Amino acid sequence: MADMTFILVAVLAFVSIAGVGWVFAGGSENKVNAKRVKTLGAGDGRRKKKISSVDLANSRRKQVQETLKDLEAHQKEQRKQSISLKAQIEQAGLSWSPTGFWIGNLVVGCIIFGLLVFTGRPILIAAGLGVGGGFGLPRWVLGFLRKRRMKKFSKEFANAIDIIVRGVKSGLPLNECLQIIGRESPDPVGPEFKQLVEGQTVGVDLPVGLEKMFTRMPLPELNFFAIVLTIQQKTGGNLAEALENLANVLRARKRMREKIQAMSSEAKASSMIIGSLPPLVGTIVYFTTPAYMSLMFTETNGQLMLAGGAFWMASGIFVMKKMINFDI
């Protein structure tokens, strides 16, 4: 009986110890499984977060591409349209009307015609030179003023972008930065940005205002600026960083342009000397021996020779000008 009791107690003790061991072993395994499940869940969360960030980047990239396509299509339509006389006058910074410009052409032509007739030139030659000078000289002056104004704008535009970059970094809104440029920057940068701000005050959207500004000042630098602001307004992003990179690019373009101008200065001087020699020598000969040189104007063969020489000189000057001018 005592042996049976001892065996029973031993069996119960073994069962109890085995149960306790199983409980602890199972609990540890459950903890391991729980930890494993938690780790997998965290990995899934990170993976989902990564996927969402990738989707956001892809969506923003597609939005930027669509914006660029729209801008490119709009610019192609603008290139197909010829620049009107009114737009050319605005680009030159003048307040004339097209009617006033044509009246000025007529006045210049009449003055040239009157001077030639007064000096004893034939009527037909005076009329031809009057018509050519009346239509050509004002156009040349208008083109010269346009190029000079665009050159001044391009020279100061990078500094204007720096004002926007510093203002945005310091917490100022974009419109206030544009107002500062309109007040502080010299002509023509200041007046152009002032018109942009005034347009916004009457309800003109920024992309539309930039488009009008580009019409008044058709420069690649301003086109880049308009694209950056339009994309930032539609898709968001770091405006200060984008404009700072744009300012660096514009300064690099300016340095490259100045370097090319310095390297081509010798060729320009040579072309000016070579191009001015024939008219200069002809003028000297005309004043020293008028009878000898007057045959070039009175005889038919002389007139043909002068016309041919003028044509070939003009062709050579045009070719040399194209060879030493580079677009950057």
Could you identify the residue written with the tokens 């580079």? 326
Higher per-residue confidence, 59 vs 274: 274
Looking at residue 241, what is its pLDDT?
Answer: 87
Domain boundaries, the chain: 152-250, 264-328
Q: What is the mean pLDDT of residues 41-48?
A: 53
Angle at 178 between CA 94 and CA 157, to 5 degrees: 60
CA distances from 121 to 114, 117, 286 (A): 10, 5, 16
pLDDT-above-90 percentage for the chain: 16
Q: Count Cβ neighbours within 10 Å for each residue of 203-226 and write b for 16 or more, e otherwise.
A: ebebbebbbbbbebbbeebbebbb
Note the pLDDT tens digit of each residue in 192-230.
999 999 998 888 888 889 988 998 898 888 988 988 888
Stated pTM of the model = 0.65
Domain 152-250 classification at class level: mainly alpha
Note the pLDDT tens digit of each residue in 235-285.
777 888 888 888 888 888 888 888 888 877 777 787 788 778 888 888 888
pLDDT of 76 > 60? The answer is no
For 218, residues 6+ apart whose C-beta sits below 8 A from its C-beta are 83, 91, 150
Note the pLDDT tens digit of each residue in 171-200.
889 889 999 999 989 989 999 999 999 998
Q: For residue 107, give the nearest of 85, 128, 140, 138 by alpha carbon.
A: 138
Looking at residue 177, what is its pLDDT?
Answer: 92
